[in-house]
A and B are shown apart, each in its own frame.
Chain A
Amino acid sequence: MNRINKKLLENKKLLSIYFTAGYPSLDNTVSIIEGLEKNGVDILEIGLPFSDPLADGPTIQASSTQALNNGMTTKVLFTQLKDIRKTVSIPLIIMGYFNPILQYGVEAFCKKCQEVGIDGLIIPDLPVDVYHDEYQEIFEKHKLINIFLITPQTSEKRIRYIDSISNGFIYMVSSSSVTGSQSGFGEAQTQYFKRIANLKLKNPQIVGFGISDKTTFNQATQFAKGAIIGSAFIKYVSEFGVNNLKRFINTIKD
């Protein structure tokens, strides 16, 4: 069983963290992954930086630009992750935009992911239909779970379609926004979280965008299986570095 599916069976709310590979320093990747696992993080999203990250706000954009300037590339990332499965056992997901993956070669990329022990991919600008028609077979051949996003504007029909071709979790974007632009959830979001929970989808949902502390983590996971933190973590490491990750985790859960 894929590590993601196994993790989703655990009887707890899951904390997932996104970080940009190559930031703040080129070679921080392994120590961030190990440090977060040690401090109880359940799933990691390793951000493959892109020059033009359309769905991201200023914090992740800036970290991506810095990571690229530091010399991060797809090849470098795979080299860094070469031995990651000797020390790390939580699910690892690569989150990246489609163009760098296309240039690497989708099949070669998937093969490499499987070799180093990546469990899934999140590619925000790879449309569901294109994935279904052109790439699903390749992903499945290499045991990769592809994670799709839904938003408050996604129709129920489309959510059900996405649910039908997913086999991990659904990434539930908390509001109509780019990353890192929310502070706190209001009534509209709670209603949305409830509405999705009531759909009784076959895939559990993990909420992303706008989670930055205990309050928002608890709000998000009241109805969902887990929550993803990105921008808040990037802000933390840019200020405090990667050595004391425990302090950050303590701001999210007890």
Chain B
Amino acid sequence: MSYNINTKGYYGDFGGAYIPEMLYPNVEELRQNYLKIMSDSEFQKEFHQLLKDYVGRPSPLYFAKRLSEKYETNIYLKREDLNHTGAHKINNTIGQILMAKRLGKHRIIAETGAGQHGVATATVCALMGLECIIYMGEIDIARQAPNVARMKMLGATVIPAKSGSKTLKDATNEAIRDWINNPINTHYIIGSVVGPHPYPDMVARFQAIVSEEIQWQLKEQTGKTKPDYIIACVGGGSNAAGAYYHFLDNTDVKLIAVEAAGKGIHSGESAATSVLGKEGIIHGSKTLLMQTTDGQITEPYSISAGLDYPGVGPMHAHLYKSGRAEFLSITDNEAMNAGLELCQLEGIIPAIESSHALATFKKKQFKPNNVVVLSLSGRGDKDLETYINHFKL
């Protein structure tokens, strides 16, 4: 059994391309070309050169000694927080901007929630000199002012999404509508392993650099070719997809996916899709999503804007349903405390998304000889205000 995508664009029961006919030519053009383009040696060369010189890869695999001592196991942090723009998001936007150029597109659109993917997209558009339009929920624009300013400095146009709940899912809807209205010259850079096929697979492949590096870095440092566990937070799930990718079918490696429980799974303010979601269609993909019994998509909540998505990528829906990955839910408070702990034990201020993954160590006991790799997907600079308010600093 493979846990990766099949030739029809599905992970088990999940995935596919449930899109209106107006989007079909765009998505089909991408589907027919993405593997061919990605396997081209010139493309690979350019992609890896930029990852090295511009993003700063490989990101370190860091043995967190004091954290390991505290939890009596061996914890390695995959330092995606040290990438240019501060998170794993840039791996995907570098890949997709090169894809857009190969497809002859000169206008780039993207959605963003907290603004991290928006910044990563605006960054690569500036790098390549392409027009950049970012859709962002009106409510998110108000609460993420520094990232809005960053995108503008980078030359992007930020358009408020005023429909529905005015947050990430609505920004995604608006970006899709833009793509319907501009079918010829525009490429849509989706920021996570969500959306219609081939997006989940394409984004996972660009993020797969993370697990590719983990493989050789771990070997170099420990002599082992694989860890016992990989832990990653999951919103849409792109950093988890990247960290798992090369270990998906190696069941000796246990996968742990950490979702945001918000104020508690059953508090009505949560984003724990695996627990609260049901199978359905969101943004062109069949997956697990939070919805009413009538099939209307509901608004999730998490203190972390990056985990605040009502669905989850189809790869993760399949990892959940098949039992390949263990899913944990971490509340706002548990995450914030784990984030502060990392600051004080290791001198690293993590993004609140990554703090959710870090909270795993309070929930689950690992063996002293286990090798546990945790994807530290982003840095906490963007979250300082939230940390300040939470801890009354």
- Interface, chain A (partner B; CB < 8 A): 50-55, 57-58, 61-62, 65, 68, 73-75, 97-104, 124-128, 130, 148-151, 153-155, 158, 173, 176-178, 181
Contact B169 A52 (CB under 8 A): yes
Q: Given A74-B294, A103-B293, A103-B295, is A177 in contact with B180 using a C-beta cutoff of 8 Å? A: yes
Contact B295 A125 (CB under 8 A): no
Give the shortest distance, in Å, between B54 (CB) and chain A (any CB).
Answer: 34
Q: How far is A213 from B256 in the complex, measured between Cα atoms in Å?
A: 57
Contact B21 A148 (CB under 8 A): yes
Q: Given A149-B21, A173-B21, is A104 in contact with B295 using a C-beta cutoff of 8 Å? A: yes
Interface flag for B348 (CB, 8 Å):
no
Contact B164 A61 (CB under 8 A): yes
Interface flag for B113 (CB, 8 Å):
no
By beta carbon, the residue of chain B nearest A101 is B295
Contact B19 A51 (CB under 8 A): no
Contact A178 B180 (CB under 8 A): yes
Contact with A along B8-43 (1 / 0, CB 8 A): 000000001111111011000000000000000000
Q: How far is A101 from B282 in the complex, measured between Cα atoms in Å?
A: 13
Q: Given A50-B296, A99-B281, A181-B181, is A130 in contact with B173 using a C-beta cutoff of 8 Å? A: no
Interface residues of B in 111-165 (CB under 8 A from A): 163-164
- Interface, chain B (partner A; CB < 8 A): 16-22, 24-25, 163-164, 169-170, 173, 176-177, 180-183, 278-284, 291, 293-298
Contacts of B24 in A (CB 8 A): 127, 151, 153-154, 158
Give the shortest distance, in Å, between A205 (CB) and chain B (any CB).
Answer: 13
Q: How far is A104 from B24 in the complex, measured between Cα atoms in Å?
A: 26
Q: How far is A57 from B17 in the complex, measured between Cα atoms in Å?
A: 21
Contacts of A51 in B (CB 8 A): 164, 296-298
Query: Which of B22, B173, B177, B278 has the largest number of chain A CB atoms within 10 A?
Result: B22
Contacts of A127 in B (CB 8 A): 16-19, 24
Contact B164 A74 (CB under 8 A): no
Contacts of A68 in B (CB 8 A): 296
Give the shortest distance, in Å, between B10 (CB) and chain A (any CB).
Answer: 11
Contacts of A181 in B (CB 8 A): 181
Provide 23 A-B residue pairs closer than 8 Å at the C-beta atoms, listed in order of the A residue.
Answer: A51-B297, A52-B164, A52-B169, A52-B283, A53-B173, A54-B283, A55-B177, A65-B164, A68-B296, A97-B281, A99-B281, A99-B282, A100-B294, A103-B278, A104-B295, A124-B21, A125-B19, A127-B16, A127-B24, A149-B21, A150-B21, A176-B181, A176-B183
Contacts of A125 in B (CB 8 A): 18-20, 281, 284
* Further 9 A-B residue pairs, CB within 8 A, beyond A104-B295, A173-B21: A52-B169, A54-B177, A103-B291, A103-B293, A125-B18, A126-B18, A127-B18, A127-B19, A176-B183
